[in-house]
Structure 1
């Protein structure tokens, strides 16, 4: 089971990163992938009440990869964090399956209360470089967020948003947002 999940993560990186040249390279040298693997262990500890160990591990992973994922966040399968630098995923964030995030993405909170305060990314979402998503918002299935965007409202499924504050630029979801896109 675990080995199959690791292989699945490597295959995802190979499929989503045109610069990926081999499974060995991906497995050994991709910090976004290492951050997800570290998160999975920390989340396992968190779910079993070992919150201190989970937080300690998440901070070690942050130090080594530059990616901070709170161990209480819920993350689905095949998350790929391309470049893996300066990504922050908050405590109550929910990330679905087959999500692609680029460097500098923040899934941040907008409340000091102990409640759902971080974004939900549904299946197939793409989030461009340096995008900031704040609050208990939902980014719908197969939606895209442009690089540098600030998202504070829900994004409907299949919609591409860009800018600060983010506004829809496409309703088809077919225009996949990459790290090279600029907000309008």
Structure 2
């Protein structure tokens, strides 16, 4: 019975360890998935207006908007859930974790494959998507991938990969782009609930800011040296090495 499977998933994956009654009655993500099953069944039988009515009621009750045409696998856990939006042609595999504020959306009004074509992402099995992340377009997120909080993903993510930031990239690429390769600070983590070890979001933000300041100071020092060398050369004095 799916309600039991979903409640077991909630109890296993939520650190709050709710009771069975709490999991069934107080978790909007569980309720949203169950209501979507009804909406999707009506949608497949071409009762589209009724399906949209059920979907609209689902959004009103849970704060989670799932188009009745979306395909959702087993044991989806939407934690907190408020503000989650899942588009019509989105496909979600089994054992996926989605936090609040996530959008599985499209990039344009036109279908790539014409009417009824694919516009929204396909999420593989065991994927975790952090709060506020935007996954956009007809792309695939590979099995076991992790998407950091507030990331914007518009290209394919390989299986098992972790991506963060805007645009979403693996953490080591962000270290290079922000000058963190000097080793002064660790890269930001994907976000709460996406790592096996505890993480400190505030500390990570401070570490990122320190790394950016160090890169800016190094760049400023270089510019000062260049200006001093130019001034001395114009004055006819040999430039300092």
With normalisation by structure 2, the TM-score equals 0.70
- Alignment of 1:18 with 2:20, yes or no, is no
RMSD (CA atoms) = 1.8
Task: Say if 2:143 is the partner of 1:141.
Answer: yes
Q: Which residue in 1 is equivalent to 2:30?
A: 33
- After superposition, residues 69-80 of structure 1 pair within 5 angstroms as 69-80=66-77
| Unmatched segments (≥5 aa) in structure 1 | none
Distance 2:141 2:161 in 1: 9
CA contact (8 A) 1:127 1:177 kept: no
- Counterparts of 1:92 and 1:102 in 2: how far apart (Å)? 20
* 2:130 alignment partner, one of 125, 128, 132: 128
Contact persistence 1:74–1:92 (CA under 8 A)? yes
TM-score by length of 1: 0.91
Please give the secondary structure, in 2, of the residue aligned with 1:123.
coil
SS of equivalent residue, structure 1 residue 12: helix
Q: Is the 8 A contact 1:126 1:177 kept in 2?
A: no
Deviation at 1:127, TM superposition (A): 0.1
Point out the structure with the larger strand share: 1
Quote how far apart the aligned CAs of 1:177 are.
Answer: 5.0
User: How far has the Cα of 1:112 moved from its partner?
Assistant: 1.5
Report the counterpart of residue 177 of structure 2 in structure 1.
Answer: none
The equivalences for 1:98-117 within 5 A come to 98-113=95-110, 114=115, 115-117=117-119
The 1-side partners of 2:190 and 2:97 are apart by: 10
- Distance, in Å, in 2 between the alignment partners of 1:176 and 1:28 is 30
1:144 and 1:177 in contact (8 A); partners too: no
Shift of 1:178: 3.0
Which runs of 5 or more structure 2 residues have no equivalent in the other structure? 173-188, 194-198, 209-241
Q: Is the helix fraction higher in 1 or 2?
A: 2
**What's 2:50 paired with?**
53
2: CA distance between counterparts of 1:46 and 1:13?
A: 27
Checking the alignment, whether the CA contact within 8 Å between 1:122 and 1:142 is kept in structure 2 is yes
